[in-house]
């Protein structure tokens, strides 16, 4: 076993927060007690929150933390996609870790006056559903930048046929595991806020659009009653 693999295994053992004697750790890793002591010195010197000393044992005193990070929406999308992938894995420990990490991210996201007040929890929008929408993210971003119209099939009333929207895409927003598209629908002649994971099919057309009064993102933001993502 390489040193890096051994140090990783050592961290996994210490994560339970219990006191571990050096002899027991050395036995589990298959190394000498002297090697174990050197490994612990490396971890402590690297900043791992571990207390202890030779002859008494070692205990991790606090969870591993990261410095504050400023993420762009694209980086947040990538992180979301990674969590979605892990949450679909067969390993129950990884599933639990993805859920817990997602909860920490959601708690750290800034409050938005326009964000829905409830119903965005993990159980409501499981990763397996939200991940379906990521296939549409790149073409939607490109359509917004180039002001190209899109056609999207979106479910209507329960049991009813899909609605084919001719859309002027205006904005992508993140609501905590759920991405939504704000657009002017030429089909319904109003602003629509659509959950991207519920879009059945999406086609970017060759038709471009120009800003028109009453159909811009600024007009949408000025509306007193913003429609919820549905």
Q: Per the domain annotation, does 206 fall within a domain?
A: yes
Q: Extract the tokens encoding 199.
A: 């879009």
CATH number of the domain within which 178 lies: 2.30.30
Question: What's the rounded Cα separation, in Å, for the pair 168 and 179?
Answer: 17
3-state secondary structure of 150: strand
CA distances from 168 to 46, 107, 155, 201, 212 (A): 52, 32, 18, 16, 11
Question: What's the rounded Cα separation, in Å, for the pair 16 and 58?
Answer: 11
pLDDT for the residue numbered 42: 82
pLDDT digits 0-9 by tens, 185-194: 999 999 998 9
CA distances from 217 to 86, 138, 141, 208, 210 (A): 35, 20, 15, 16, 12
Q: What is the pTM of this model?
A: 0.52
pLDDT digits 0-9 by tens, 68-87: 677 777 777 777 777 776 76
Asked whether residue 217 falls in the same domain as residue 135, the answer is yes
The residue that leads in pLDDT, 143 or 175, is 143
Structural domain range at position 201:
130-222
pLDDT digits 0-9 by tens, 43-71: 887 667 788 878 889 988 876 566 667 77
CATH number of the domain within which 9 lies: 1.10.10.10
Helix residue ranges, H only, the chain: 3-14, 22-29, 33-45, 73-87, 92-108, 127-130, 137-146, 217-222
Q: Per the domain annotation, does 175 fall within a domain?
A: yes
The two beta strands, 148-154 and 57-60, are: unpaired
Question: What's the rounded Cα separation, in Å, for the pair 51 and 73?
Answer: 38
pLDDT for the residue numbered 66: 62
Q: Per the domain annotation, does 168 fall within a domain?
A: yes
Q: What does the pLDDT average to over 1-26?
A: 82
Give 1's pLDDT tier (boundaries 50, 70, 90). Answer: low
């Amino acid at each position: 076993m390489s040193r890096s693999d051994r140090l990783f295994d050592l961290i996994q053992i210490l994560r339970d927060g219990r006191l571990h004697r050096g002899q027991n750790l050395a036995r589990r890793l298959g190394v000498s007690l002297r090697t174990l002591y050197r490994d612990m010195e490396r971890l402590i010197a690297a900043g791992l929150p571990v207390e202890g000393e030779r002859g008494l044992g070692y205990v991790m005193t606090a969870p591993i933390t990261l410095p504050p990070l400023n993420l762009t929406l694209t980086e947040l999308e990538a992180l979301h996609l990674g969590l979605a992938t892990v949450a679909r894995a067969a390993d129950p420990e990884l599933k639990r870790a993805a859920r817990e990490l997602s909860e920490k991210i959601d708690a750290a996201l800034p409050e938005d006056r326009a964000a829905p007040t409830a119903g965005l929890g993990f159980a409501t929008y499981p990763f397996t559903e939200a991940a379906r929408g990521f296939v549409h993210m790149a073409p939607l971003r490109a359509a917004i930048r180039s002001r190209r119209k899109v056609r999207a099939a979106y479910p209507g009333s329960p049991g009813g046929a899909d609605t084919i929207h001719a859309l002027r895409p205006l904005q992508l927003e993140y609501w905590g595991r759920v991405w939504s598209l704000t657009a002017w629908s030429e089909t319904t002649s109003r602003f629509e806020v659509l959950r991207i994971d519920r879009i059945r099919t999406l086609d970017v057309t060759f038709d471009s659009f120009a800003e028109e009064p009453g159909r811009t993102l600024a007009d949408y933001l000025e509306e007193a009653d913003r429609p919820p993502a549905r």
